[in-house]
């Protein structure tokens, strides 16, 4: 059902797929969640491992320190990937997610006017591409205009991202570094991988799937660590459940991975209102319970 919802949303806003990929990337580099992704833009599919739990906290400091930035050089990118057990093939494959989506000017405008404080554009930028980007991102602009990460097929998950790098049309510095490296420096070790993926889309798709699975295995929260949220947008809150029926309480405990109490009293993870039935993730109505008469009662969506 979730896959169908994402597909429908993608038809009205093609950026949805790219946004979900970024969300998965950021979750896994900092604190793993249970979310899985299916690409609805022509890309590959894969089975998502189950049993992952959501973190109960956010870590802004960890995000700032661990997540690769769009203006970092290849050395820093490689080091950040290596720190979480990912190699240079993973770096190139996962960067290929920039084959669709958009980026705000403020994340790359330094390349257009004053690269690394030199007062001139990034010398690795294709001059025609540079002129086009300057039309989108004026020098004194606010920086919130957006440009396509892939100027050729911006809403399709394909291998054109790598062809763009070969013609010096990578939008972010972190993109073009994979093929060009620093200006005047030797050919970077990632360039042969870019060439491979550019000429063999199947090889890119296969490597992307393997790297996404590896990234999903970065310090996963399992067992008693973390939680399974009853509302996907909120950390669960423990409340008393003495007013719940035994059937409802037992089902709720199963959903959050706990053990149902043997007595009529206990607690489950729910929202702030102790007398409500426990809430399922808001877009999921697939869970149901059997009442004493054997009839199905959907625990479905409850909106405020």
pLDDT of 31-63, one tens digit each? 564 444 445 556 787 777 776 777 777 777 777
Q: Are residues 196 and 260 in the same domain?
A: no
Catalytic residue among 24, 26, 40, 98: 26
Number of domains into which the chain is organized: 2
Q: Are residues 178 and 251 in the same domain?
A: no
pLDDT at res. 4: 59
Q: Are residues 193 and 248 in the same domain?
A: no
> How would you class 268 by CB atoms within 10 Å of its CB: exposed for 0-12, middle for 13-18, buried for 19 or more?
buried
* Range with the largest mean pLDDT of 43-47, 207-211, 227-231: 207-211
With a cut of 70, say whether residue 209 has pLDDT above it.
Answer: yes
Residue 137 lies in a domain: yes
Q: Are residues 201 and 261 in the same domain?
A: no
pLDDT at res. 239: 44
Q: Are residues 156 and 46 in the same domain?
A: yes
Q: Are residues 209 and 246 in the same domain?
A: no
Among 184, 216, 248, which residue terminates a domain?
216
Q: Which residues of 92-118 are buried (b: 16+ CB within 10 A; e: fewer)?
A: bbbbbbbbbbbbebebbbbbbbebeee
At 231, the pLDDT band (50, 70, 90 cuts) reads confident
Across the range 91-109, mean pLDDT stands at: 93
Across the range 134-143, mean pLDDT stands at: 95
Q: Could you confirm whether 40 is annotated as catalytic?
A: no
Q: Whole-prediction pTM value?
A: 0.68
Q: Are residues 276 and 133 in the same domain?
A: no
Residue with tokens 């409850």: 302
Residue 228 lies in a domain: no
pLDDT at res. 147: 96
pLDDT of 255-286, one tens digit each? 444 444 444 443 333 333 333 333 333 333 32
At 85, the pLDDT band (50, 70, 90 cuts) reads very high
Residue 221 lies in a domain: no
Q: For residues 244 and 205, what is the distance between their CA atoms, to the nearest angstrom?
A: 48
Residue 80 lies in a domain: yes
Across the range 67-79, mean pLDDT stands at: 92
pLDDT at res. 55: 76
Assess contact for 98 and 155: CB atoms under 8 A.
Answer: no
Q: Are residues 85 and 142 in the same domain?
A: yes
pLDDT at res. 66: 80
pLDDT at res. 196: 98
**From 7-11, 143-147, 194-198, 297-301, the region with the lowest mean pLDDT:** 297-301
Range of the domain at 45: 2-216
179: domain CATH number? 1.10.420.10
Residue 223 lies in a domain: no
Assess contact for 258 and 228: CB atoms under 8 A.
Answer: no
Phi-psi region of 14 (alpha: psi -120 to 50; beta: other; left: phi over 0): alpha
């Amino acid at each position: 059902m979730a896959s169908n919802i994402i597909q429908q949303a993608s038809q009205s806003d093609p950026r949805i797929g790219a946004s979900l990929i970024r969300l998965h990337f950021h979750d896994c580099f900092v604190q793993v969640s249970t979310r899985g992704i299916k690409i609805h833009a022509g890309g590959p599919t894969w089975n998502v491992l189950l049993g992952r739990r959501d973190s109960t906290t956010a870590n802004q400091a960890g995000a700032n320190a661990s997540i690769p930035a769009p203006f970092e050089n290849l050395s820093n990118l490689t080091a950040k990937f290596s720190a979480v057990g990912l190699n240079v093939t993973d770096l190139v494959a996962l960067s290929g997610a920039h084959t669709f989506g958009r980026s705000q000017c403020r994340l790359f405008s330094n390349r257009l006017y004053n690269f690394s404080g030199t007062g001139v554009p990034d010398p690795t930028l294709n001059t025609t591409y540079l002129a086009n980007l300057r039309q989108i991102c004026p020098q004194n602009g606010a920086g919130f205009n957006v440009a396509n990460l892939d100027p050729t097929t911006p809403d399709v998950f394909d291998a054109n991202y790598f062809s763009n790098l070969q013609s010096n049309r990578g939008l972010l510095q972190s993109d073009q570094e994979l093929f060009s490296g620093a200006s005047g420096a030797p050919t970077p070790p990632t360039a042969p991988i870019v060439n491979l993926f550019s000429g063999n889309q199947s090889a890119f798709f296969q490597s992307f799937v393997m790297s996404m699975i590896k990234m999903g295995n970065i310090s996963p929260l399992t067992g008693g660590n973390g939680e399974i949220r009853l509302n996907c947008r909120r950390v669960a809150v423990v409340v008393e459940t003495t007013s719940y029926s035994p059937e409802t309480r037992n089902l709720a405990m199963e959903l959050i991975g706990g053990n149902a109490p043997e007595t009529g009293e206990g607690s489950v993870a729910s929202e702030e209102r102790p007398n409500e039935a426990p809430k399922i993730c808001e877009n999921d109505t697939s869970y149901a319970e059997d009442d004493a008469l054997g009839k199905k009662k959907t625990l479905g969506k409850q909106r405020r």
